[in-house]
Structure 1
């Protein structure tokens, strides 16, 4: 027997469908409002530090080497060729020690030419001097003869044996001879003098002497001498090598005293000044010193800073030893500070994870930083003494504002 089912009302059916749709929409909206679960991080993998308040020393770090203070670079003066190398790096040398021998046929020829030019200039000067002396002697004799004649005429004139016109002519001749003698003596003084304007012969002689002295010095430089007592550090030569003027021949340095040559990042070097204290770590002890020079140029993103070394050096301190220097820039009696986070820069704003009081969670906050030191940095806004933050790299959680710590 068939049972007739009652027909449902279309309105009731539509109401049920609308309610179901609203429920689905409400569920989707609620799920979208849920925050993603905070990632969990192992506490042992984090670098944590607590914000403190107190005195703070602002420092910058630089790495470099120990270098000698007294260094002499020997360079070629003329085009030459390497004939022999007598000493090699690591050898102790005296001032007159010969490091290498060079040759230059062109220099030998020009030295001979300078020698004969000097001889010609000396000969010309001697001849000119003799001629001038002869001229002075002749003028002096003429002046004496004119003076004697004038004196005799004046005596005869008084006795009435000579006319007045003869006396006047004798006097005029005497004055002419005296003026000529004075002129020649002045010319002789100018000729022989070394100050003021020199005579052409004297100038030519002095020029020839200077040229010959230069060629002698250049010839002597073909025997490459150390020039100072110390240690021979470099001899970048090969037998038979052709060298141009200015080429490096050798480097000689005194083993002591030493200085530290530090490389400091250009962004941190702006506050360094001559006279600031430096602690130089030689890996076998720390030596105190002072900044004595700051290179005005930047090379490969760093500035070279020279630091003196005061006091006794630790054992093993020698040229080219790798060292680390910490330069003290300034200090503050009272500042809020924290360990320097990864990639933190002076006067920057960055986000850090601040731990909750129970240490189980960390929330991202904005922090404004001040001056930086080697391992600490000043906090201007965002943190207070006693707060604990994460200093290690948190780039793996850039997309979240909260992490759980276990």
Structure 2
């Protein structure tokens, strides 16, 4: 007799099929949960940094390095080329204006000086001879003038006498006419002699003036030549410290070659290197500050060098107020340079979160401190300590400012203290 076999409702195949479908549904749900913005992550509060948003004074600043330099530097260049014969001081010596530093020798220059001196002496001798000749010539003409005047007086006397005798019919017209002609002759001769004497005086003055000018020019040339020879002794142009001396005995130096420098010790300035990114924001009058021996000091930009080299440009800063005691040339200072005026702003402390978010969002901690939710924000300027908050946060809010390396896909952080 046949027996009815009951059909099983839950076969192995059916169970496996249902389990597979349920797994797929769970996977899809989990995927939707994590990609739809609802992802959560438990985080130990000891491994993150929570900071408070505040409102206070804000100023755009950048850290820069500066090197202490003398207030001014005078470079020593060889005025004339020559061989180093003597060194009177060594590098680092404190100098007074006019103190000798080294002596050079230049045979050609010294020979030119001797030739110039000889030329001046010869010219002086020639000028003295010319002056003597002019005096003798003038004396001769004065003697001639005296003779002419004497002859004129005698001719005038005879003429006046013969004139009276002629009027009295004592002498004839022939004798009177001879006396008259002789008188007129000496009268004209006197005028001519006076003209010659005047022309000779003018000519003598011109010759002496030209000789004097020539002699003065030679004297000036001699003075210049002596100055050139004198420049072979290199002297300190100002009071200061001799540095970067580059000369050894026996070494040849060309004209214009750098020999060293004198650092004026009356004060210091700071030469600062700045990234070219800030060149449009840097100008004279900007202030900076630094700490030296646990005390704060101020600097102010006095000169901007706009030439960019290797992506950087330089500025000179002067001390504003007190100068640190014990500061030395070549010392490096870490300066905080202000690029803006101080204003009131909402501030969030700087942290590693910015590298992952670009300042577009941040984890905002709930008032009870148990959760941190992703929050869109807007940041503006920054300095070494803070970002300026333009929107999304208010003073008193607490945010996670540490790195978000493992949280970029999270929507919420569950804060736990383990």
TM-score by structure 1 length? 0.72
Listed one character per residue, the Cα deviations across residues 311-330 of structure 1 (whole Å, up to 9, x for unaligned) are: 55445322222222234444
Cα distance in structure 1, aligned partners of 2:383 and 2:241: 39
State the structure with more CA Rg: 2
The DSSP-based 3-state class of the residue aligned with 1:331 is: coil
Q: How many residues align?
A: 383
Instruction: Give unpaired runs (5+ residues) of structure 2.
Output: 7-17, 164-178
Structure 1 position 210, deviation (Å): 1.1
Residue from 227, 230, 237 that aligns with 1:213: 227
Cα distance in structure 2, aligned partners of 1:243 and 1:258: 31
The DSSP-based 3-state class of the residue aligned with 1:316 is: coil
Cα distance in structure 1, aligned partners of 2:122 and 2:274: 64
Alpha-carbon contact 1:284-1:316 (below 8 Å) kept = no
Alpha-carbon contact 2:80-2:231 (below 8 Å) kept = no
Alpha-carbon contact 1:274-1:294 (below 8 Å) kept = yes
Q: From the superposition, tell whether residues 98 and 128 of structure 1 become closer, same or farther in structure 2 (CA, over 3 Å).
A: closer
Counterpart residue number, 1:263: 273
Alpha-carbon contact 1:62-1:325 (below 8 Å) kept = yes
Counterpart residue number, 2:380: 369
Are 1:285 and 2:284 an aligned pair?
Answer: no
Are 1:337 and 2:347 an aligned pair?
Answer: yes
Listed one character per residue, the Cα deviations across residues 2-37 of structure 1 (whole Å, up to 9, x for unaligned) are: 88999xxxxxxxxxxxx9999998777655533254
Structure 1 position 111, deviation (Å): 1.0
Counterpart residue number, 2:362: 353
Cα distance in structure 2, aligned partners of 1:284 and 1:278: 16
Structure 1 position 178, deviation (Å): 1.3
Alignment map for 1:285-304 (pairs within 5 Å) = 285-304=295-314
Cα distance in structure 2, aligned partners of 1:343 and 1:234: 49
Counterpart residue number, 1:65: 67
Cα distance in structure 1, aligned partners of 2:228 and 2:290: 45
Instruction: Give unpaired runs (5+ residues) of structure 1.
Output: 7-18, 193-197
Alpha-carbon contact 1:136-1:185 (below 8 Å) kept = no
Q: From the superposition, tell whether residues 26 and 391 of structure 1 become closer, same or farther in structure 2 (CA, over 3 Å).
A: closer
The DSSP-based 3-state class of the residue aligned with 2:297 is: strand
Counterpart residue number, 2:330: 320
Structure 1 position 243, deviation (Å): 3.9
**Aligned-residue RMSD, C-alpha:** 4.6
